[in-house]
Structure 1
């Protein structure tokens, strides 16, 4: 990701918040302004607290379709954020990326971790892939897929 990708990344972020914003009754212009502000605050937070993370545009069939932010530390591989634009959700793209990260974590003997909003529709995917809740963070659950020995890895 470069600074030139920020408008697209803002669009991806906004797409993940449209349902909850629709409940505010605000006009779309106010929603857009609010979400732009929230995106920048989130972006700055991620840059500050995950300075070594990779911040990537997900490209599928030559098209930018989402974002994947990953922080690789000694302790674990942390998915900071993964999000796809609505037309690309439920098509196996996220599952494919998670499988790649699970393979990387397995090969390195590390856990794969993520904070997941409790009402996130992808929660069932994370559970199916072996993630378990290790901590309740209020709105979020902190979930981990523990390190898997090669002989136990079945994904």
Structure 2
């Protein structure tokens, strides 16, 4: 996604992931859309600035985009910068399968895997099942890591 041709899909995906949380604020819909657009632009700029070597992948099934995976490979680990799926694709094992593939690649390379996750993100349960543990409390986010020293005996299926 280096040329930003997928940016409209990614912006809509971002909005879909955050919409329920923002709806609880009671803001008018137009203000919610404007806020989500501004937040997506800020996130996109942050990711570009702080993860310049990351792969920016659109996940597809049958040519239809269903999510995004931003992945950076570092000396000692693979950093999952972001993984998001459209609502219709959540809870079907897709995210678990993608993460299991990343863990397998990390194992083969002798590396760990890390991801920042919001404290109340339901995906935490999946990460924990896959063997990720809390590495650092970052306030709103936690840094979770899968380490070669702590491999998971769990499967990759979601609840």
Q: Which residue of 2 aligns with 1:94?
A: 95
When structure 1 is superposed on structure 2, of 72-81 and 57-66 the one drifting more is: 57-66
Looking at structure 1, the residues matched to 82 and 17 of structure 2 have their Cα atoms a distance apart, in angstroms, of 11
Q: Which residue of 1 aligns with 2:49?
A: 48
Answer yes or no: is the 8 Å Cα contact 2:129–2:152 preserved in 1. no
In the alignment, structure 1 residue 57 sits paired with structure 2 residue 58: yes
Q: Which residue of 2 aligns with 1:122?
A: 123
Stretches of structure 1 that go unaligned for 5 or more consecutive residues are none
Q: Secondary structure at the match of 2:53?
A: coil
RMSD: 1.5
Stretches of structure 2 that go unaligned for 5 or more consecutive residues are none
The TM-score, its normalising length taken from structure 1, stands at 0.94
Cα deviation, 1:20-45, whole Å, max 9, x if unaligned, reads 11111112111111111110110010
Q: Which has the higher helix share?
A: 1
Aligned structure 1 segments of 4 or more residues deviating by more than 4 angstroms: 152-155
Superposition pairs of residues 55-94 of structure 1, within 5 angstroms:
55-94=56-95
Answer yes or no: is the 8 Å Cα contact 1:106–1:148 preserved in 2. no
Q: Secondary structure at the match of 2:37?
A: helix
The TM-score, its normalising length taken from structure 2, stands at 0.91
Q: Which residue of 1 aligns with 2:138?
A: 137
